[in-house]
Amino acid sequence: MNNDQIVANFSTIISIILTNKSTILITVITVTLLRYILKTLHNRRQFPILTVKQTPTKPIYCAVCLYDVVEGQRYRRLPKCHHCFHVSCVDTWLQSRSTCPLCRSQIPVHLLPRKQKEEPGFLYLFVYFSVKAIRQKISSNFSKIVLVDADEL
């Protein structure tokens, strides 16, 4: 299925949705819930972000920036080796490497933090496909008008 067919299918679906106000509301709620669920599932697959509540007896040392992780700062504990680093330090490190900065143990790919791509929002996509559906309806109605006028001549 190519992109034009996908856009045509979405446009058809949007035109059906636009015919009834209750289906618009149900669609918006459904899409919002699905996005929330997908983001939650994605975040659960990554290793957690922890926060230092009290100054520990043995300080947590970040081998990336060479500073201790102090009270109130956020850090990550790597899954295999359990080494800890500031979130921003280790995330920057893991954007280009998939190993622990300290011991070089491999980190499973599905746990690596990813750069958040700027995705088009639901409203943008809804408007885009709505306009596409309206254009298709107008062009099909216009072609019917032109065909009727040509037949009458």
Domain boundaries, the chain: 1-46+117-148, 49-112
CATH topology for the 49-112 domain: Herpes Virus-1 (3.30.40)
What are 68-104's pLDDT values in tens digits? 888 888 888 888 888 989 988 988 888 888 899 999 9
Name which of 39-53, 81-95, 135-149 the model is least confident about: 135-149
CB-based burial label for 144 (10 Å; 0-12, 13-18, 19+): exposed
Helix axis angle, 122-152 to 21-45, nearest 10°: 140
State what percent of residues in the chain have pLDDT above 90: 5
Q: Beta strand 74-77 with 67-69: parallel, antiparallel or unpaired?
A: unpaired
In angstroms, the Cα distances linking 107 to 55, 74, 103, 104, 112 are 28, 20, 11, 9, 7
> What is the band of 114 on the pLDDT scale with cuts at 50, 70, 90?
low
User: Between 150 and 126, where is the model more confident?
Assistant: 126
* pTM more than 0.75: no
Give the mean model confidence (pLDDT) for residues 5-27: 69
pLDDT at residue number 49: 76
pLDDT at residue number 117: 54
With 70 as the cut, is the pLDDT of residue 146 above it?
no
Among candidate residues 96, 54, 94, the one with its CA nearest the CA of residue 76: 94
pLDDT at residue number 32: 77
